[in-house]
Amino acid sequence: MGSPRIVTNSAMEKPTPTGCDILVSVFAAGVTGDAVTWPETYATPSRIPGHEVSGSIAAFGPDYAGGLVLGQLIYAFISAERGQGQADFVVCSPNEVAPKPTTISHAEAAALPIPLLTAWEALKDHGNMSAGMGVLVTGASGAVGSLSVQMAAQVKDSRVIALASSQHHKWLQTLGATETIDYKTEGWEATVQAVDVVFDTVGGDILTKAWNTIKDRGIIITVGDPAPAWAFGKAEPREASQHPNARYKYFIVSPNAKRLAEAATLVDEGGIKSLAVERFSFDDANGWLAVVEILSDREARL
C-alpha cells in the first residue's frame, strides 16, 4: 500500500452524470503524491486517483440547474471520497466545479484547487485575518505556503512572515512576504515578533517551535502531515499548557465552488500568481507519482 507501482492505465466506459452532477472532459489532472495512501483510495477494488482537474463541461445530469454551460472551461476540486480525476472524463458535483481562470493554462489551473482552498480556509475561516494582523507561514515555499503568503499579503497592513529555506526568500518577498526566515537557523522561533496567526503546512518539529511565536490569544492552524496527536480531539497539545489562551486547529480542506470562482477572479486580476508546474504524459503514471513523492512541496500535473 502506498507505492506508485500499484497504479496502472486501463480503459473503461465513459461515465454518465446523474441527478445534478456534471461530466467534465479533463484536459489536465492534478497529482497528489500521497493519494495512494489515503483510505478512500481502497474503498473499492479498483479506484481512479485524482482530485484536481481542469477541462470543459461535457454534459449535465438531468437535474442540474446551475449557471455553468456546455463547453465552458472549468477547474475543479473533487472530494476525497469521489476522486477519479486522472481520466479522460470525470463526474463532479456542482460544489466542486467553477469557471477556470482565463489567464493561465489548464496545467496551471489543475495545480490550484487544493492548495488554494486550503490557504483560503486557513487564513479567512480559521485565522479570521483582518487589517494589521501578523501571520507566520511555515513551509512558505510550497504550494499551500506560497499561496498563503499571497493571500495574507492582500490584507491591509498585514505582517507576513515566511519560513522557508534561504534560497526561496527573494521569491517569497515578491509574493508579499514582509519578513523571511530560514527554518534551518537554530532558534529561529525566538527571533519572531509574536503573531496573531500561525499557519503551519509542515508539522513535526516546525509546528512545535511555531508555538513559541503565537500571541496570547492567537491561533495555531496546521495541515501538517502527519497530523499532530491532538488533531482529532483525542488529546490536547503539550504546548497548550504554556499558551493557555491560544487556540489551535487542524483541518482537512473540502470542495467549495464559490471560493474557486472567487479565486479565479483573483488570479485573472493578478492578485494570485499561479504555481510552477511539472508536466507529464498520461501514460507515465508511475513516473509522475514517484516524482511527486520526492518533490513533496511542489505540484505536478499531467
CB of 83 closer than 8 Å to CB of 40:
yes
How many other C-beta atoms can be found within 10 angstroms of the C-beta atom of residue 170? 10
Q: How would residue 2 be classed by pLDDT, with cut points 50, 70 and 90?
A: very low
Domain boundaries for CATH 3.90.180.10 within the chain: 4-112+275-301
List the CATH code of the domain at 4-112+275-301. 3.90.180.10
* CA pair distance 140, 168, nearest whole angstrom: 9
Nearest to 78 by CA among 63, 93, 58, 89: 93
Going by the DSSP 8-state scheme, the letter that residue 211 receives in this structure is: G
Q: Which CATH class is domain 114-250?
A: alpha beta
Q: pLDDT by residue (tens digit) across 129-173? A: 999 999 999 999 999 999 999 999 999 999 999 999 999 999 999
What digits encode the pLDDT tens for the residues 50-78?
A: 789 999 999 999 999 999 999 999 999 99
Could you give the residue range(s) of every CATH 3.40.50.720 domain in the chain? 114-250
Among residues 80, 183, 84, the alpha carbon closest in space to that of 141 is found at: 183
- 277 contacts 107 by C-beta, under 8 angstroms: yes
Name, in order, each residue with C-beta under 8 angstroms of 27's C-beta and a sequence gap of 6 or more: 53, 54, 55, 56, 106
The end-to-end CA distance of the chain, in Å, is 23
